[in-house]
Amino acid sequence: MDRRESLKAIVLGTVSSAFLLESCGDTKTEEQAAQVLDTPPETAPLPGRMPEEIAHLKEITSRTFFTEPEMATITILANIIIPEDEVSGNASDAGVPDFIEFIVKDKPEFQTPMRSGLKWLDIQCQDRYENPFRECSEKQQLEIVDAIAYPEKAAPEMKKGVAFFSLMRNLTATGFFTSEMGVEDIGYVGNRPNQWQGVPEEVLKEHNLAYTEEQLRQCVTNGRNV
């Protein structure tokens, strides 16, 4: 059995730092598991957080920035940017609108670009379709999005919309791919105890690379078995 496969970390709850390791009788790994499990339990509700940070978090989460109509528009846009596909769900399945609400309070420099961008979008839609964006048909929504989603070919008068949509795209992607769903989608498989054995042999081959004898001799290979 591949040792890397055998090192499955199970996180006990979302806030706990304790974890277990399964292993195939590997003493080093068992020692390691014991060490980590020996670490004292977290005592404070937010261990390792400064009082100033806790106060800041409490303050910004005690208020709401976006209005309900604004949140409705953000949700529609986020799902247009990251829709459901064969790999994973859409942006709102991953909690992206809530993340955007949080991050504009945490980084107030986004508040004006976001609010004025949402306003710009509604004014455009009102002019074109006599409705705010959220009440437009799907076809109309995609039509206006097409006009602002491609920075290099967008019409000059769409510049403000392009800047807003780029910000929306960036916030949505960051929010999605840092969610549990998004991390699974992107295929990041780290953040767990393991023993680094180097690049898998088949990957090295694919890239026409190999470790030298010297590297294998001088480095810690953790039982790399080629």
Partner 1 sequence: MADYQIKEEPKKYDAVIVGSGAGGGMAAYVLANAGLKVCLLEAGAMFDPATDSAQLKNPWESPRRGASTKFRPFGDFDGCYWGWEIDGEPYTKVDGTEWDWWRARMLGGRTNHWGRISLRFGPKDFKHRSIDGLGEDWPIGYEDVKPYYDKVDRLIGVFGTNEGLENEPDGIFLPPPLPRLHELKIKKAAQGIGIPVIPSRLSILTKKINEERGQCFYCAQCGRSCKVYADFSAGSCLVKPAVATGNVDVVPNAMAREVITNSEGLATGVSYVNKEDMLDYQVNGRVVILAASACESARLLLNSVSRRHPNGLANSSDVVGKYLHDSTGASVSGVLPELMGRKRYNEDGVGGMHVYTPWWLDNKKLDFPRGYHIEYWGGMQQPAYGFGWGIESLNGKLQVNGSTKEAGGYGKSLKADYRFMYGAGVGMAGRGEAIAFESNYCEIDPNVVDKYGIPVLRFNVKYSDYEINQAKHMNTTFKEILHEMGAIITSGGDAGPHNNWGLAAPGKIIHEAGTVRMGNDPKKSALNKWSQAHDSKTLFCVDGGQFVSQGDKNITWTILALSMRASEYIVDQMKKQNI
Which member of 80, 100, 144, 158 binds partner 1 (CB under 8 A)?
80
Return d(Cα 48, Cα 158) in angstroms, integer.
Answer: 46
Region 142-171 residues binding partner 1, contact defined as CB under 8 A: 145, 149-153, 165-166, 169-170
Judged by CB under 8 A, the residue of 6, 23, 140, 178 near partner 1 is 178
- Nearer to partner 1 among residue 43 and residue 225 (C-beta): 43
Q: Is 20 in the site for partner 1 (CB under 8 A)?
A: no
**Residue 11 interacts with partner 1 (CB under 8 A): yes or no:** yes
Least distance (Å) between residue 155 CB and partner 1: 14
Q: Is 82 in the site for partner 1 (CB under 8 A)?
A: yes
CA dist list (Å): 68 to 71, 73, 92, 222: 5, 9, 15, 54
* Least CB distance to partner 1 at residue 131 (A): 21
Rounded to whole angstroms, the Cα distance separating 193 from 196 reads 9
Q: How many CB atoms lie within 10 A of CB 184?
A: 12
Question: Which region, left, alpha or beta, applies to residue 176 given φ > 0 means left and ψ of -120 to 50 means alpha?
Answer: alpha
The answer to whether 21 and 29 have CB atoms below 8 angstroms apart is: yes
27 binds partner 1, rule: CB under 8 A:
no
192 binds partner 1 (CB under 8 A): yes
Place of tokens 């509700």: 45
Does residue 109 bind partner 1 (CB under 8 A)?
Answer: no
